[in-house]
Amino acid sequence: MDIFRLLSVPLTGAVVLAPAGTEAQTVDSTALNNAAIEWVTLLRDQQFDSAATRVDPAAAAQLGAAQLEVIWRSVDGQLGRMESLAAGPVTEARGYHVVDLKGTFAKGAVTVRVTFDAQTRVSGLFFLPRTEAAWRPPAYADEAAFREVEVTVGKAPWQLPGTLTLPVGEGPFPAVVLVHGSGPNDRNESIGPNRPFQDLAWGLATHGIAVLRYDKRTKVYGARMSADITLDEEVIDDAVAALSLVRDRPEIDPRRVVVVGHSLGAMLAPEIARRDGRVAGIVMLAAPARRFTEVLRGQLEYGASLTPDDAAARSATDSILALIDAYEAGELPDTVAILGARPPYLAALDALDPAATLRSLPVPLFLLQGGRDYQSTMADFALWQKRLAGRSETLLRAYPDLNHLFAPGEGTATPTEYMTVPNHVATQVVDDVADWIRALAPRDPS
């Protein structure tokens, strides 16, 4: 779980959607772009009261002046000062206008998404990774060794598009379902020029293992999701549906289906496995072991340390830390979010005990940790070693030179690295996961 991906969740969810049958309206893309740029510029110039007057009343609780100040200070602390804002594409979503501005900040480029209602009042604000940089397949992926088919995960009204990567040859094959980290990730878990889930899918398929990856519900239906979203709605329900979909495919051996979670998805993988009841194994990539607010505090302080002379960044950090203090003291209202996450959501995370769940599951586990990771750190890895000591069929392995995306480099990773440096999941990780899955004993799926 990382700050940037938390900033990528809908910062408002109290959007009252038009009925499904609403007809599309004539769109003036230039006017909407101008309105979006003007509004975001108010945020940059710290004119939060003026910005709040342009907000849809249905979203005022999440995008009032005080909330906008916290949001913008968070963005300013994470990405640095906004340097430019350019017009972008305009789309329609169930009666709402969605404007994707091209934002350039001191520490990287992002998409600043502003949604408007029919009266051109702001109803949503998102910060999303820009994915314009070219992605090239990793050297370990043999594209002649697999094929891909499009699938649909789940049922209406939350159907999700996905891709099933199938090895060439005679099956049935072992298979994995990839479960995302925080934020509205696409099926590749794209961030900047990096696509770690596509790396894993193509790498594992080259080893003869099928892989299902899919767009996250908050990616596909972000404008429809409530601000009171639960972990079930965000992650667990869709992951369980994906496991069932894979298991029912004729190309797949239903006795050898594995859940592979990354970051938040790794933290939730034990619960997903418990709900499913039939997985043959669990792989946890960069799983936090500490309470969420402790993880977040560490990320904030680390981010601030990268620019020690930046007073604005320090102020932004202190503003978020004050919200965390209020939450931990039980004084933060349920309507106030910390980087997009409200107190009930945070409480649900804090109530998780994945180690206890793992101890109750007779399922093989492989937990991997990167030594350069500043989100889930080696401190988390040490806690996992302690909490899982004595558990049977458990493998824990650290990779000193890898970051949160399991890509190689030197020194502790930074947010800018993820956004700007093209890289791939390390060959060793792909090989180790493939070897571990192939060695699993089949599990009766009944």
Average pLDDT over residues 65-80: 80
Note whether 59 and 204 are same-domain residues. Answer: no
Where residue 191 falls among pLDDT bands split at 50, 70, 90? confident
Tokens matching residue 254? 């239903």
Note whether 121 and 158 are same-domain residues. Answer: no
**Residues 6 or more apart whose Cβ sits within 8 Å of residue 47:** none
Output the CA torsion 339→196→352→304 (10° steps): -40
Note whether 121 and 150 are same-domain residues. Answer: no
Nearest 5°: phi and psi at 61?
-65, -30
pLDDT at 136: 92
Dihedral angle sign, alpha carbons of residues 370, 373, 378, 381: negative
Average pLDDT, whole number, for the chain?
87
Who wins on pLDDT, 420 or 11? 420
| 75, 97, 129 - which closes a domain | 129
State the CATH number of the domain containing residue 89: 3.10.450.590
Note whether 165 and 30 are same-domain residues. Answer: no
| 129, 162, 194 - which closes a domain | 129
In a domain, 245, yes or no: yes
Who wins on pLDDT, 192 or 254? 254
pLDDT at 131: 59
Average pLDDT over residues 82-102: 85
pLDDT at 19: 24
Residue pLDDT, tens place only, 271-281: 999 999 999 99
Tokens matching residue 323? 């919200």
CA nearest 162: which of 217, 124, 207?
217
Answer whether 129's CB lies under 8 Å from 192's CB: yes
DSSP conformation letters of 48-112: HHHHHTTB-GGGTTTSSHHHHHHHHHHHHHHH-SEEEEE---EEEETTEEEEEEEEEETTEEEEE
In a domain, 119, yes or no: yes
Note whether 67 and 164 are same-domain residues. Answer: no
Tokens matching residue 48? 């939060």
* pLDDT at 326 > cutoff 50: yes
* pLDDT at 81 > cutoff 90: no
DSSP letter for 143, please. Answer: G
**Residues 6 or more apart whose Cβ sits within 8 Å of residue 277:** none
| 129, 159, 194 - which closes a domain | 129
Answer whether 189's CB lies under 8 Å from 181's CB: yes
- For 414-430, b/e burial (b = at least 16 CB within 10 A) is bbebbbbbebbbbebbb
Note whether 70 and 213 are same-domain residues. Answer: no
Residue pLDDT, tens place only, 399-444: 999 999 999 999 999 887 887 789 999 999 999 999 999 999 998 7
Who wins on pLDDT, 93 or 3? 93
Spatial distance between the Cα atoms of 21 and 71, rounded to a whole number of angstroms: 33
In a domain, 233, yes or no: yes
* pLDDT at 26 > cutoff 50: no
In a domain, 282, yes or no: yes
Note whether 159 and 205 are same-domain residues. Answer: yes
DSSP conformation letters of 361-400: ----EEEEEETT-SSS-HHHHHHHHHHTTT-TTEEEEEET
Residue pLDDT, tens place only, 218-253: 888 876 777 788 999 999 999 999 999 999 999 999
Spatial distance between the Cα atoms of 295 and 289, rounded to a whole number of angstroms: 9
* pLDDT at 25 > cutoff 60: no
Instruction: State percent of the chain over pLDDT 70.
Output: 91
In a domain, 33, yes or no: yes
Is 404 catalytic? The answer is yes
Note whether 266 and 181 are same-domain residues. Answer: yes
Residue pLDDT, tens place only, 148-184: 999 999 999 999 999 999 999 998 999 999 999 988 8
Distance of CA 179 to the CA centre of its chain: 9
Residue pLDDT, tens place only, 332-350: 998 888 877 889 999 999 9
| Domain assignment of residue 86, given as a range | 3-129
Residue pLDDT, tens place only, 31-45: 999 999 999 999 999
Residue pLDDT, tens place only, 109-132: 788 989 998 899 998 888 877 655
Of 123, 263, 276, 376, the catalytic one is 263
Note whether 79 and 103 are same-domain residues. Answer: yes
CA nearest 429: which of 120, 110, 138?
138
Helix (H) or strand (E) holding 428: helix 427-438
Where residue 9 falls among pLDDT bands split at 50, 70, 90? very low
pLDDT at 303: 82
In a domain, 165, yes or no: yes
Where residue 61 falls among pLDDT bands split at 50, 70, 90? confident
Is 238 catalytic? The answer is no
Number of independent structural domains in the chain: 2
pLDDT at 432: 98
pLDDT at 173: 98
Secondary structure string (H, E, C) spanning 279-336: CCEEEEECCCCCCHHHHHHHHHHHHHHCCCCCHHHHHHHHHHHHHHHHHHCCCCCCCC
State the CATH number of the domain containing residue 160: 3.40.50.1820
Who wins on pLDDT, 144 or 190? 144
In a domain, 264, yes or no: yes
Of 2, 117, 373, 380, the catalytic one is 373
Instruction: For residue 252, list its beta bridge partners.
Output: 173
Residue 96 CB-density burial (10 A; 0-12 exposed, 13-18 middle, 19+ buried): buried
In a domain, 333, yes or no: no
Output the CA torsion 216→218→224→229 (10° steps): 120
Where residue 318 falls among pLDDT bands split at 50, 70, 90? confident
* pLDDT at 2 > cutoff 90: no
Is 207 catalytic? The answer is no
User: Which pTM value belongs to this model?
Assistant: 0.81
Note whether 124 and 152 are same-domain residues. Answer: no
Note whether 60 and 116 are same-domain residues. Answer: yes
Where residue 352 falls among pLDDT bands split at 50, 70, 90? very high
Spatial distance between the Cα atoms of 215 and 219, rounded to a whole number of angstroms: 6
Note whether 203 and 226 are same-domain residues. Answer: yes
